[in-house]
Amino acid sequence: MRLILAIIVSLSVFTASAQNSAFPNFTGDPFIKYSISAPGINASFIPYGARLTSLFVNDKNGNPQDVVVGYDNGTQYLNDTETVHTFFGAVVGRYANRIKNGTFTINGTTYHIPENEHNGEDTLHGGFIGYDQQNWTVVSQQTDSITFSFYDQAYQGFPGDVINYATYTLSNNNGIPRWTSRLVSIPLNLQTPIMLANHVYWNLGAFVNSAAQTVLNNTLYMPYADRYIQIDGIEVPTGGIALTANTPLDFTSPTLIGANIKNTVNNCGTGCTGYDNAFILDRPRYSNPEATDLTVLQLSSPETGIQLTLKTNQQSLQIYSCNNEDGTIPLKADQQHGNTTTGYQKFGCIVIETQQWIDGINYPQWGQDAYQIYGPTDEPAVNFQTYDFSIVQD
């Protein structure tokens, strides 16, 4: 009942404030798919959550494969929100990941936002009505790119107003298909926490056979992930920082995801086995937010030969190995391949969120304020990512 009331109140506030907005109200169908393409890659998006719903790249045999988890019909994402709430493919915000007790302090003022997780002990992905549940406006579309906008008028109790843009571009660079995501947030009046992230679920094996039903045989490499943020039993940071060396969280050399996963008990919360951890990227943050020259992650599937190479300006990667999937959500039609397994299984995918340090606004000793708290006199908050898709050579 508390959740239903919170949603009703939030929606009523949204409707009233949107009518007075300096930016155009959303019109049209929030679940209609918009497609863009470039040589060797194509993708589709919907305004609901500015979310990625499919992404096709060629496998080692030259066959196009859809490598992201989701639904066939756009309206299914609304049903997902109302039930299991996976955040499939969406932009999450105004502040991604978790905030302890839904509380933070800026310039001596303490703010309290809705705690929508663990019976009111923390806030996840922005509160009861996060960016994933907002209808973003398509402000530009070309053959190979699309830009969405969303005007946030102090929703969910966050201070101040923020205009957000999500620009997605496809390209081909010397035969390597690329998806570029650029999330830009501009605060208009008050200082506020901002940490947007894409919440895409990947399976580079595209479920082509029984071995590709999980990502356990995928190779993961994060060369700069020497440290991780320690969490408590409900996955909220404790303030501790630990080394990944000699733990199941060490992917500083290429390692199978399933190699040590049985040893991760309680690493991702009480009773949890799998990965749901924030890895710190120990390499310099670039002064130019789009000058991303270092590979921070590589992921590859032996079933398709597809390899993903990620570069970003962010200082952390949240890695989630789909520990809670149980086969009840059906695979998309283009991922069925005639297999007997027809639902997304436990460990059947992996989420890669590029972001800043989780709950850094509550740990000033981490020195994250400059990258998480923004005001009208600061540069915009920019989360910039490139995903290159190549074929692993045998």
Q: Catalytic residues, which ones?
A: 199, 353
Of 69, 96, 79, nearest to 31 (Cα)? 79
Structure tokens at 80: 């997902």
